[in-house]
Chain A
Amino acid sequence: MKYIISFLTAALFLTGCNEDKYLRLPAVETSSVEVSGTDIILTGKMIDNGNAGVWTLGFCYDRDRVPATIQRNQTLVDWVYEDGTFQASLQGLKQDSTYYFQAFIVTDLGFATGEVIEYTVPRFEAPEAPCENNLTMNRVTDDGRNYTVTAYARESDFSETYDIAVDCGPWNPDITFSFREKPVTGIYSTANRIDRYGTTNDVSVKITKTVGYGATTIPVNSGQFVYVNRMDEDKLILSFCDLAYKMNVNNMNFDVVLSGKVESEVR
């Protein structure tokens, strides 16, 4: 009889004692929005996974209004600290504009969002190239020759980069600045290869010019600097001082430098 009563009691309360193990909707907190350099750093915290498998954590945001759904400007994170904290870094947001940020979590049982944080992106201080005083807008000096140029900014479908193409006129060199993603105000370092595994502060600079009977494309040396003086939703300005590259003519190498300042509409 004792065993029967025990079984009855156990069956009655089998699922009643372990509330910690109950399935429930997850909970997440939007902890803070801060600026670091020209990056906006978002921090969130997973409060409760609801005892369900976590698919992802991330942030959504919108300008001038609370994001209606989690897919609005969604940025996902791939690392969560042991205490449940997670972070994401955003670049290229419009300066002097108010954004609304919200953390979210997706589990097997659905999703949950944290509270909304309103944040005004500050105007970042524009970096100045060392030779700034010697530069004129939309003028480029290559190998001692001066060119009046036109610049076009666009996202490259082919290489998945954000390119600024500088046209120095017919029969003159073309210069391409390839950023891994839309640049922000700041200083970028030249690199020969830009891909998704590189750092976001890399830029590939290549000059295409006619040498002999054909066109050749030459990258500038790595480790030099390109200054993005202005980058917002309307306009981009970048400047560069004495970017060195090697040009080969008749099997002879020449050291050449490139300087200039260009302005482009942002698309």
Chain B
Amino acid sequence: MKQLKLFLTALVGLLSLSTLSAQPAGGGIEIAYIRPNPTKEFGFILKQAPGLAITTRSSNEYRLRWGVSFGYVPFKTTMDEFPSFAYESGGNEEAYYQGYDSFKNNSFHYFYAAITGEFKFFKTLLSPIVGLDFRINFSTHTQISYFPENPRSGGMEDSINQNSMSFVPKAGVVYDYHDLSFLLTAGYNWDLTPQNMYPYTTVSLSAIYYFE
């Protein structure tokens, strides 16, 4: 619960910041395809998944644009059951106990709030862009652990909430058409926490309508 409170506090902070700094001139949706890095535990546990975000942007009259985004990705696990173990040692003896971990409904819910910015290289309708997101990440899942030969451990459920901060350097193209902008970008989520909790590649397509 502490992690959720932190995430919500950061969310309110981001909203306040965006409201105080400038009124958004546009808003839209972003469809992202997230691929957890398979060389890290995050990618070992979770399958690639699509996500959805709502996003705002400052005026499209400038080449430097920024806004805030709030996204959600419903990940599914790569396996129904992950083999696990417990280790016990005492004196000269040591032993490994066989166990299993599973995620309730095979689900892992991932949320993020981001300050996002892009720089448009040329003033043409179609232009390459580079950008950077600063993200506050939050995830929640219920883990069920059991050890077949220990009746006392019969399926312990544990609700696990985690959060972290990350940067997403990204690059792509933008196409501005009247009051609409379409962005196609690819980036990598560099987690700033020592645990490197959410390393992933993201490819996203955004559609933004400018009402000012």
Contacts and interface: CB of A to CB of B under 8 A. Distances in A.
Interface of A: 1, 4, 7-8, 11-12, 14-15, 18-19, 21-25, 51, 55-56, 58, 68-71, 74, 76, 106, 109-112, 196
5 contacts: A8-B172, A23-B41, A23-B44, A71-B97, A110-B85
B40 interface: yes
A74 B96 contact: yes
A69 B38 contact: no
A220 B192 CA distance: 68
A211 B164 CA distance: 77
A22 B42 CA distance: 11
Given A7-B171, A11-B201, A23-B39, A69 B149 contact: yes
B27 interface: no
B117 interface: no
Contact of B39 (A18, A25, A55): A18
Interface bin, chain B: 20 to 34
A18 to B, nearest CB: 7
Contacts, number: 90
B188 to A, nearest CB: 6
Interface in B8-49: 35, 37-41, 43-44
Contacts of B129: 4
B95 interface: yes
A15 B96 contact: no
A21 B96 contact: no
Contacts of B130: 4, 7
Given A106-B96, A111-B98, 10 more contacts: A4-B171, A11-B187, A15-B35, A15-B43, A15-B201, A21-B39, A22-B38, A68-B149, A71-B97, A112-B83
B177 interface: no
Contacts of B92: 196
A51 B186 CA distance: 27
A131 to B, nearest CB: 37
Given A1-B128, A23-B40, A70 B171 contact: no
A71 B96 CA distance: 6
B94 interface: yes
B203 interface: yes
Instruction: From A76, A106, A196, name the one whose CB has the most chain B CB atoms within 10 angstroms.
Output: A106
A55 B96 contact: yes
Given A4-B172, A15-B35, A106-B85, A69 B98 contact: yes
B43 A23 contact: yes
Interface residue SS majority, chain B: strand
B149 A25 contact: no
Instruction: From A15, A51, A55, A109, name the one whose CB has the most chain B CB atoms within 10 angstroms.
Output: A15
A12 B83 CA distance: 30
B84 interface: yes
Nearest to B130: A4
Given A12-B186, A23-B43, A69 B148 contact: yes
| Smallest CB-CB A-B distances: 8 pairs | A110-B83, A11-B186, A4-B128, A23-B44, A7-B171, A22-B38, A69-B98, A21-B39
Contacts of A23: 38-41, 43-44
B148 A109 contact: no
A141 B16 CA distance: 97
A60 B128 CA distance: 59
B64 interface: no
Contacts of A76: 94, 96
Interface string B105-142: 00000000000000001000000111000000000000
B211 interface: no
Contact of B171 (A8, A22, A196): A8
A236 B173 CA distance: 83
Nearest to B84: A110
B186 A71 contact: no
A113 B96 CA distance: 13
A1 B43 CA distance: 31
Contacts of A19: 38
A71 B147 CA distance: 11
A74 B39 CA distance: 31
A74 B95 contact: yes
Nearest to A112: B83
A14 B188 contact: yes
A58 B121 CA distance: 59
B62 interface: no
A109 B38 CA distance: 13
